[in-house]
Structure 1
Amino acid sequence: MNVAGKRVGPAEIESVLTAHPAVAEVAAVGVPEQIKGEAIYCFWVPVSGAASTPEACEELAQLVADELGRPFRPGLVRPVAALPRTRSAKTLRRAPADGS
């Protein structure tokens, strides 16, 4: 992903978020954005019993900003029940990015 001229891989963002105790799994995707080039959208699956509140989403976005820098703060952090998978069980990143 290229955010405001800076490069970051989805795995870097995902590793920061999966270190949080409320996150079971996460997918980070780059979405075209007019000003920055790409915006970062993160979709996360909460662990059983974890709250998926707007406050939790804000906490996760701030965690990325603290660990990787403000330019990499996600523009969207959304909890989901499950991440879409390919037949080979890899995360299907295209589907979360287009909102499906």
Structure 2
Amino acid sequence: MVYMRLKKSSDFSRVYKRGKSYADKYLVLYYLPNNSGETRVGVSVSKKVGKSVVRNRVKRLIKEAFRLNANLENHYDIVFIARVRANNAAYPTIEKSMNFLLKKLR
């Protein structure tokens, strides 16, 4: 299934302000139901996580884990925020964290 990306700052702000959230040690998930007919996903990784190479690696891990594991019936705007602990995390750890958060969302 193909998911659209959240790109605009206003979209991220809307999800943060009006949406709900779940969190664990590695990721924070903000979500807001939408009526657009598709699920849109955004990823945010702060400079606290590490330099650009580390941040981009964490983003790639999050996007791939979402691509492989998201089976959502409803349509949402979703934002994943990486916590500082995610900088050393391997793919299975990120995937497990994401599955935990998506299970709460369902």
TM-score, length-normalised on structure 2?
A: 0.30
Where is the strand percentage greater, Structure 1 or Structure 2? Answer: 1
TM-score, length-normalised on structure 1?
A: 0.31
Where is the helix percentage greater, Structure 1 or Structure 2? Answer: 2
Q: Which has the higher contact order (CA 8 A, sep 6+)?
A: 2
